[in-house]
Amino acid sequence: MLTGTATACSGSPAAPKAPQSRKATGSATAPTAQPASRSGQERLDEEARDLLDRTDPWASDDEGLVSSGSLAIPGQNVDDTVESGTALRVEVACAGEGTVTFTAVSGTARKAERVDCARTMTNRFDFTTAEPSLTIQADSSEAERVGTAYVVRHIT
C-alpha cells in the first residue's frame, strides 16, 4: 500500500538570525511576538501525531493503512490509489492555539471536521470515496500556531 505524507518542509535549513545589539543607553526592549519557528512548527506537528498515537490502539499496525502524516496549512495530501466506493475511517488531531478544519474529499463526497487544538483529543469520522482518489486537506487562520496530524484507514 502507498503511504503518503505531506509536510511543510522547505527542504533547506533556515539561516541563523544575526544577534541584535543592545541600545547604548542600556535599556532593554520587550521582545515582540514571533510566529512559530520551523522547529516550533515541527514540534506542534509531533504533538498532534502523539495525540493520534495515544488514542489509536492500531497506530503501529500498518494493516489497513491508507495514508498518514502532517499537513501544511493550507495544504493537502492526495492519494490516487484508493478505489471508488472505499469505506474509510479518518482520524485527525491538531496541537497548539487555534482551530484547524480538516476536509476529506473524493469527487462529490466531502466531509469536514473542525478541531479545537487547545483540546487534547482526536476527532474521527467515517468517509466513503466517490471516485478513485482521496484528498485530505487542512486549513486554519492560525497556521503559524498549530500543528496537524491525520491517519486514514480502511474500515474492515
Flag whether 26 is in a domain: no
In the chain, the number of structural domains is 1
What stretch of H or E contains 52? helix 38-55
pLDDT above 50 for 27 = no
Q: What is the pTM of this model?
A: 0.69
Establish if 25 belongs to a structural domain: no
Q: Is residue 31 part of a domain?
A: no
In a domain, 14, yes or no: no
In a domain, 100, yes or no: yes
Which of 10-19, 107-116, 130-139 shows the lowest mean pLDDT across its residues? Answer: 10-19
At 140, is the pLDDT very low, low, confident or very high (cuts 50, 70, 90)?
Answer: very high
Question: Which CATH number do you get for residue 143?
Answer: 2.60.120.340
77 in any annotated domain? yes
Domain residues for 114?
Answer: 38-154
pLDDT, tens digit, for every residue of 30-73? 334 445 545 788 899 999 999 888 755 544 455 688 888 898 88
Q: Determine the pLDDT at residue 120.
A: 80
Q: How far is CA 109 from CA 31, 55, 65, 73, in A?
A: 47, 26, 20, 22
